[in-house]
Amino acid sequence: MLKDKIIIVTGGASGIGRAAANLFAQDGARVMIADRSADAGAAAAEAICADGGEAAFVACDVADDESVAAMVAATVAHFGGLDGAFNNAGIEFASKIVPDLNYAEWRRVIDINLNGVFLCMKHEIAQMRRTGGGAIVNTASGAAVAASPNMAEYATSKAGVTGLTRAASCEFGETQVRVNAVLPGLILTPMTEERLFNDAGFAAALEPLLVRHSVGRFGQPDDVAQAARWLLSDLCPFVNGISLPVDGGLLAR
């Protein structure tokens, strides 16, 4: 589906991002892994290359405008262009009710989960418009639609991503830049698993969601990566502006 496409994956050093980078590379894409963790990001790119794929790594803080601009420039310099982007970098929530959240906690989640997607789209779309189009997939969350207690800053950030996705899809469809989002349910990334077992407040926030995945299991990073691959591919040229649930039926209940 993605053979020879040049694709950025933010948050590509672990979890959903790493699963996506691996899948895209297996599909023949040339992948730029972007992450704040230099060691993990470089290791992820090296592992792809060792398996016969094509990947590189660039350090990036998605909440910093100059860092994101440099990420896109590095991708174009290294691979020769940009065809797609999976804007996946994000952080979890503080597991507090609204009155107990301090402003720094609120701002940090908004800066990375929402402002980070905006900055990535800003620079990615500018590049894509110069070269004839492309496709973008943003990672939102089922929490954007059906939130639980103790996750106000996270739900707000992800609802913002869905709104931003719709708005951008209206602005750039005519220039052949498609923008869509995925809405993961409870996905067992290493970060999620660690907090489920070690953070009682986090586990309590997610408990109402556990029984609502009608397929009878939790999600895996590859479940989201497969959906992102389809949305980035040429198999869905008429799909634009959607937020696709990847949640095992969570939002259907």
| Active-site pick, 154, 155, 192, 205 | 154
Annotate 154-219 with DSSP letters as a single string: HHHHHHHHHHHHHHHHHHHGGGTEEEEEEEE-SB--HHHHHHHHH-HHHHHHHHHHHTT-TTSS-B
d(CA 186, CA 192): 8
Distance separating alpha carbons of residues 129 and 182, to the nearest angstrom: 23
Helix 221-232 with 15-26: angle, nearest 10 deg: 50
The conformation of residue 100, written as its DSSP 8-state character, comes to: G
Beta bridge partners of 9: 33, 86
Distances, alpha carbon 230 to alpha carbons 73, 222, 226, in Å: 25, 12, 6
Distance, in Å, from the CA atom of 6 to the CA atom of 134, rounded to the nearest integer, reads 10
> Whose structure tokens read 């969570």?
250
Assess whether 103 carries a catalytic annotation.
no
Write out the catalytic residue numbers: 154
